[in-house]
Amino acid sequence: MGIAQALGFVGATVVLVGMPGPNNIYISLRSLAQGRRAGVVSAFAIETGTLVYIVVAALGLVAVVRASPAIFTGITLVGAAYLAVLGLKTLRAPAGEGVGGVRTAPLGRVFREGVLVNLLNPKVALFFLAFLPQFTSRGAGPVQLRNEMLLLGLAVLAIGLLLDLAYAVGADAIGRRFRSQGRSGGRTQRLLVGGIYLTIATVAALGTLH
């Protein structure tokens, strides 16, 4: 990869990964509701999911998903349903529990949910299906292609982690204002977080059905 192509890859990755989507919003909402530590844990959880995609892409299994639209549609719908569950749970949470109870949620649960959000995120699947292969060598053999996908994937992971951490830190600063407002701030926070989850779930489901 030449310098121009490398710069194009980095620039496009920053734009595509940094655009608000289920991953970024999950990190932001966790940090907003529970604090910076939960946001950072969520960021590492998201990139753990990315690591799974990297291995899958390097093994060539993305071709299986590409050849079967039903699999991709299924992943998208399951992801939308999962986000909808998180949204409803947040809206129904008692006032004293914070947003969806996340203030007292173990970080292990925060981590597991983050990994699931990323694995069920159609944006990530499309990224590895359509975008990443464009930067591999044409006519490359299986071994070279695998190595290139691994290197490109790790570069995406590093860029993604930096952006995710930025989301976590920024959302924590906003979350402190809500938390300092007591019960009224918590109510506003729950409505905001729950509404965002449900909106993302609806958009993802409608995009799949149409």
pLDDT tens string 145-192: 778 888 999 999 999 999 999 999 988 887 777 655 555 445 666 676
pLDDT of residue 127: 80
| Beta-carbon contacts of residue 50 (< 8 Å; ≥ 6 apart) | 118, 124, 153, 156, 157, 160
pLDDT of residue 49: 92
In the chain, the percentage of residues whose pLDDT exceeds 90 is 15
Question: Rounded CA gap, 128 and 136, in Å?
Answer: 12
**pTM attached to this predicted model:** 0.74
Task: Assess whether pLDDT exceeds 70 at residue 61.
Answer: no
pLDDT of residue 116: 86
Question: Rounded CA gap, 32 and 172, in Å?
Answer: 5
Question: Rounded CA gap, 111 and 45, in Å?
Answer: 5
Look-up: residue for tokens 């590895």? 128
Got the DSSP string for 25-53? HHHHHHHHHH-HHHHHHHHHHHHHHHHHH
pLDDT of residue 58: 78
Mean pLDDT calculated for residue range 41-52: 94
Question: Rounded CA gap, 191 and 204, in Å?
Answer: 20
Residue type, 121: N
Which of 15, 13, 22 is CA-nearest to residue 207?
22
Give the Å distances, CA to CA, from 165 to 54, 63, 97, 108, 171: 20, 31, 25, 18, 10
Question: Rounded CA gap, 77 and 63, in Å?
Answer: 20
Task: Assess whether pLDDT exceeds 90 at residue 80.
Answer: no
Which range scores top for mean pLDDT: 46-60, 71-85, 93-107? Answer: 46-60
pLDDT of residue 46: 94
pLDDT of residue 30: 85
Residue 105 tokens read as 């949620």
Task: Label residue 100 left, alpha or beta by phi (over 0 means left) and psi (-120 to 50 means alpha).
Answer: left
Mean pLDDT calculated for residue range 27-53: 89
Which of 167, 137, 171 is CA-nearest to residue 152?
137
Q: What is the mean pLDDT of the chain?
A: 77
Which of 83, 88, 115, 122 is CA-nearest to residue 208?
122
